[in-house]
Structures are given as C-alpha cells and as structure tokens.
Amino acid sequence: AQSVTQLGSHVSVSEGALVLLRCNYSSSVPPYLFWYVQYPNQGLQLLLKYTSAATLVKGINGFEAEFKKSETSFHLTKPSAHMSDAAEYFCAVSEGGYNKLIFGAGTRLAVHP
Amino acid sequence: DAMVIQNPRYQVTQFGKPVTLSCSQTLNHNVMYWYQQKSSQAPKLLFHYYDKDFNNEADTPDNFQSRRPNTSFCFLDIRSPGLGDAAMYLCATSRDAVTGVSYEQYFGPGTRLTVT
C-alpha cells in the first residue's frame, strides 16, 4: 500500500528565508505526487504535481519540488518565504485508477518577520 | 472560471438532526469525492463517485450517505449527526483516464459543520 510521511508537523521560518518541507513516500509502482496548500477555513489548493515527466517540478507562488526516486522523496522548497505563505501544506500520493489520494499528516508553516 | 462550489460554507445542526451538504462543479469532471477533515488532521476520504458508480470507503460509517443526481452535483447526507461528526467537509473532483488523465483533484472551499 502507498503511504506518505511528512517530517515535521510544524516548521517556522523567517520572512525571506528558505522554506523546506519534507515528504517521503512509499509506493510499489511509479507514483504520482502532489503538494497542496490549505489556508484557514479554506479548501485545498494544488501547488504542484509530479506525473513522471521532469523530476524538478515548478508550481505556483514560487514553490518547487524535486522527485528523487532513490530517496523516495518529494520535498517542497521556496527560496524566500513570504508572510502569505503561512498555511498548512499536505503532500499526497495517487493510488489506483480513480486517482485516490493518500495524504500525509500535513506540515503547518509559520513565517515570522 | 471553472470551479468546485460548496454550500453552505458553515452549517450548524443539532445532535441527531439530519443534514445535507451540497457540492457543484463546472469542471465537467466525472469523478467526485467527499472528504472529512477534522482539526489539524489530513482529509479522510469518505466515498467517491465514478460517474454514477458509488464507491464507499470501508471505514465510512453508515451514518454517511451520498447522492449524485447528475454530473454537476453531489450531496452528502448525514442521517443522525453526532458530536464526533463536527468537521470540515471537502468536496473534490478529478478527470479520469477515459476522458484524459489529470490525476490531481480540485477541491471546493469546504463546509464547516458544527453539531450542537
């Protein structure tokens, strides 16, 4: 069965600092991987996705993620944090023909001045 | 803009009083999902529709039912809400392999359910 582990339930960075949110997955087949962001009392918004094309994926709001098969990782990065990046971030892997998503537990990102 | 719409955004119901949450989409996606998300947790899939075919998750309580009268609309019925059913309910859609694989799911803004 597929699973996702997000290391660090809370991450705090200074405005302008590098953002690194970690995600490791397990899958017996080539995975499809996603990062979603959720602001308070909102739904989930897709940041970026990996679907077996380029291993370095660029998303919205300056985020990017690199798929590393040897490390079974799909970490999310942003060179310079902005206050508006404060939110909950979920990594997910796709399972099955109906695009069923398996979510990680989430990482809450705080950005302080 | 094509989107997933959920109404209402906030719903208050009484313990044991049936409640219905609604979801509509203008993306013309044939797969629709309902998730339950409790505070500080990941979304938990309750069930999904592939066109009109209903697929229940094994651990979804019988108290939760769903209807999909057409491609655009999907409803979540909670027959007898308990205090433990208070949560954010998220609707999502995706496009399947027959019409062109997209893999990702598109989420609505959610309905926050309070049970008093």
Q: Determine how many CB atoms are found less than 10 A away from the CB of residue A58.
A: 11
**Whether the predicted pLDDT of B69 surpasses 90:** yes
Burial class (CB in 10 A: 0-12, 13-18, 19+), B58: exposed
- Which of A42, A99, A108 minimises the CB distance to B105? A99
Chain B residues lying within 8 Å of A42, measured CB to CB: 109-110
pLDDT, averaged across chain A: 92
pLDDT at B97: 54
Percent residues over pLDDT 70 in chain A: 96
User: Looking at residue A98, what is its pLDDT?
Assistant: 59
Average the pLDDT over A7-14 and give the result: 95
Six token digits for residue A40:
């308070």
The region, left, alpha or beta by phi > 0 then psi within -120 to 50, assigned to residue A66 is beta
Are the Cβ atoms of B40 and A106 closer than 8 angstroms? yes
C-alpha span between A69 and B6 (Å, rounded): 37
Asked if B107 and A45 come within 8 Å (Cβ–Cβ), the reply is yes
Q: For the CA atoms of A28, A32, A38, A43, what is the dihedral angle to 10 degrees?
A: -110
**DSSP states of A14-73:** ETTSPEEEEEEEE-SS---EEEEEE-TT--EEEEEEE-SS-SEEE-GGG-EEEEETTTTE
**Contact check, Cβ <8 Å, A97/B96:** yes
Q: How many Å lie between the alpha carbon of A44 and the closest alpha carbon of chain B?
A: 6
**Residue whose token pair is 């087949």:** A29
CA A46 – CA A61 distance, rounded (Å): 11
Range list of H helices, B6-95: none
Backbone angles phi, psi at B85, to 5 degrees: -90, -5
- From first CA to last CA, the distance across chain A in angstroms is 41
pLDDT class for B113, splitting at 50, 70, 90?
A: very high
- What's chain B's average pLDDT? 92
pLDDT, mean of residues A48-53: 85
What is the C-alpha to C-alpha distance for residues A51 and A14, in angstroms, rounded to an integer? Answer: 32
B63 Ramachandran zone, left/alpha/beta (phi>0; psi -120 to 50) = alpha
Q: Closest Cα of chain A to B43: distance in Å?
A: 7
Q: Which amino acid is at A52?
A: S
